């Protein structure tokens, strides 16, 4: 499926179930999300995490409703299943799409300016460097007997200085390789929106409305 | 000082890099949030963990708003932070982006209300206030906060306000003060 539309659909579904209170629909969405995730053959470790990590906020919200409000067991169930629907539908989109595909699709199909697409992609590929930079900054602090915590301004300050340096270098490197901000581009990898992409988006949203209203009227 | 509103390749890369740094930091925070939630759940106060760490989650917004001084920079910074967190394998998948937009717009409002002209303690505090109100409103709908007893509701709001003030107010101001002393930002973010 087209990456832009896939993410649009996941976000629209998450938005809609934030405002509705039908736990069976939430459960159904979670199951569908899970099936999509399973079809991408994730590792067992990831699957276990997917099940257990949402359990923490889901239980917390449900218990809080039972103990701290008069909303009752039904609403607790709604919140519990809503968290799982969020996580499974959301992960169904992220686990089946690479960053590069999503960015290219956003550029070609959603027409975001190419400077945003390639600027983001260029920076994103520095991710491993950034993780190690955070460790370097903390190690450098430790060597001088200065422990840097999550609340230390120096940690962020040094991170921003490194970002300033790298962004300058990366932007110059991209420009010297022939990237110009608003010039028309051709694409090595073409990403198209097919008719069935629209069919899936519109069909799923229509089904969701039918399910929500149908169960609401009962 | 007058700032340009156009985004250039260098600004976009810088904003993404800052967002990634924060994404990495949020990702480190994840376990802390989970431990806090587990600890508070038995007394029915699990959602309070969300309010305690809220300030850390929304830091990227006011910081980018302050550093770039452009219309939309706070929203974009916070949103990119959430996208990065999503691809790092944060626990929420694509739904993270909704929180990112809500938090981004929430912190942006503080700068919008001052017409993008004031970048000082006042606009930062205003941003803290709008962030707290808007994200709290969103949690009232999404996480069912609206059903809690009024006492708990007020307590959660105050916890969130304090957390946001400490991290997105005081800490962001401290970072910006350090940056100002380097004199790197005035020339480079134009």
pLDDT band at A119 (very low <50, low <70, confident <90, very high): very high
Q: Which ipTM score applies to this complex?
A: 0.86
Q: Average of pLDDT values for A58-81? A: 89
Q: Which of residues 59-78 of B touch A (CB under 8 A)?
A: 63, 67
Task: Please give the average per-residue pLDDT across A173-192, as a whole number.
Answer: 88
Residue ranges per structural domain of chain B: 9-188
Average pLDDT over residues A69-80: 88
User: Cα–Cα distance between B91 and B27 in angstroms, integer?
Assistant: 9
Which percentage of chain A shows pLDDT scores above 90? 50
Q: pLDDT-based confidence at A34, cuts 50/70/90?
A: very high
How high is the pLDDT of residue B29? 67
Percent above pLDDT 70 for chain A: 99
Among residues B63, B181, B12, the alpha carbon closest in space to that of A103 is found at B12
CA nearest to B182, candidates A141, A154, A171, A176: A154
What 8-state DSSP symbol labels residue A189? S
Among A37, A7, A10, CA closest to A106:
A7
Q: What average pLDDT does the segment A69-92 reach?
A: 90
DSSP string over A96-138: T--HHHHHHHHHHTS---HHHHHHHHHHHTTHHHHHHHHHHHH
Whole-angstrom distance, CA of residue B147 vs CA of residue A172: 53
Region A124-148: mean pLDDT is 90
The residue among B155, A172, B74 whose CA lies nearest residue B82 is B74
- Does the pLDDT at position A198 exceed 90? yes
- Residue B121 forms contact with A (CB below 8 Å): no
Q: What is the mean pLDDT of residues A175-191?
A: 87
* CB within 8 Å: B46 and A88: no
Q: Give me the pLDDT at residue B96, please.
A: 85
Q: Is the pLDDT of residue A81 over 70?
A: yes
Structural tokens at position B63 = 């910081």
The tokens 């991209």 sit on which residue?
Answer: A174
Q: What 3 state SS string does B113-172 have? A: HCCCCCCCHHHHHHHHHHHHHHHHHHHHHHCCHHHECHHHHHHHHHHHHHHHHHHHHHHH
pLDDT of A74 strictly over 50: yes
A89 closest CA partner among B139, B97, B78, B38? B97
Domain boundaries, chain A: 3-104+193-217, 114-176
User: Which residues in chain B have their CB less than 8 angstroms from residue A56's CB?
Assistant: 34, 37-38, 41, 46
Distance of CA A60 to the CA centre of its chain: 22
Q: Please give, rounded to a whole number of angstroms, the shortest distance from the CA of B105 to a CA of chain A.
A: 16
Position B190 scores a pLDDT of 40
Residues of chain B with pLDDT under 50: 1, 187-190
pLDDT score for B88: 77
Output the pLDDT for position A26.
Answer: 92
Identify the pLDDT of residue B91. 66
Which residues does B88 contact at the CB level (< 8 Å), separation at least 6?
A: A127, B23, B24, B27
Chain A positions in Cβ-Cβ contact with residue B38 (cut-off 8 Å): 56, 60
Q: What's the pLDDT score for residue A10? A: 92
The Cβ of residue A55 has, within 10 Å, a number of other Cβ atoms equal to 15
Residue of A nearest to B35 (CA): A56
């Amino acid at each position: 499926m087209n990456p832009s539309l896939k993410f649009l659909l996941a976000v629209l579904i998450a938005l809609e179930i934030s405002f509705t209170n039908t736990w069976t629909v939430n459960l159904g969405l979670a199951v569908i999300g899970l099936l999509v995730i399973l079809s991408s053959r994730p590792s067992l470790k990831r699957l276990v995490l997917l099940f257990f990590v949402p359990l923490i906020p889901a239980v917390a919200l449900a218990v809080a409703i039972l103990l701290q409000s008069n909303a009752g067991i039904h609403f607790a169930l709604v919140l519990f299943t809503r968290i799982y629907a969020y996580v499974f539908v959301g992960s169904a989109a992220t686990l089946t799409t690479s960053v590069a595909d999503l960015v290219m699709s956003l550029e070609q199909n959603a027409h975001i300016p190419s400077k945003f697409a390639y600027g983001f992609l260029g920076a994103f590929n520095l991710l491993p460097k950034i993780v190690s930079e955070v460790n370097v900054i903390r190690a450098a602090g430790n060597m001088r007997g200065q422990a840097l915590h999550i609340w230390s301004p120096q940690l962020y300050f040094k991170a921003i200085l490194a970002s300033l340096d790298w962004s300058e270098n990366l932007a110059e490197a991209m420009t010297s390789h022939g990237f110009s901000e608003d010039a028309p581009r051709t694409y090595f990898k073409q990403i198209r929106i097919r008719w069935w992409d629209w069919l899936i988006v519109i069909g799923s949203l229509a089904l969701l409305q039918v399910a929500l209203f149908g169960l609401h009227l009962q | 000082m007058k700032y340009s509103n156009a985004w250039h390749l260098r600004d976009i890369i810088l904003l993404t890099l800052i967002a990634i740094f924060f994404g990495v930091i949020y990702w480190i925070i994840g376990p802390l949030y989970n431990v806090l939630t587990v600890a508070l759940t038995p007394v029915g106060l699990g959602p309070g963990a969300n309010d305690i760490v809220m300030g850390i989650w929304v830091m990227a917004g006011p910081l980018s708003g302050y550093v770039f001084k452009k219309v939309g920079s706070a929203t974009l910074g916070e949103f990119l932070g959430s996208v990065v967190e999503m691809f790092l394998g944060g626990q929420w998948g694509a739904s993270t982006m909704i929180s990112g937009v809500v938090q981004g717009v929430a912190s942006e409002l503080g700068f919008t209300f001052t017409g993008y002209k004031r970048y000082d303690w006042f606009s930062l505090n205003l941003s803290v206030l709008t962030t707290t109100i808007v994200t709290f409103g969103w949690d009232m709908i999404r996480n069912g906060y609206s059903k809690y007893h009024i006492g708990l509701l007020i307590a959660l709001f105050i916890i969130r306000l304090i957390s946001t003030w400490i991290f997105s107010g005081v800490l962001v101001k401290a970072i910006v003060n350090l940056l100002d002393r380097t004199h790197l930002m005035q020339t480079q973010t134009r």
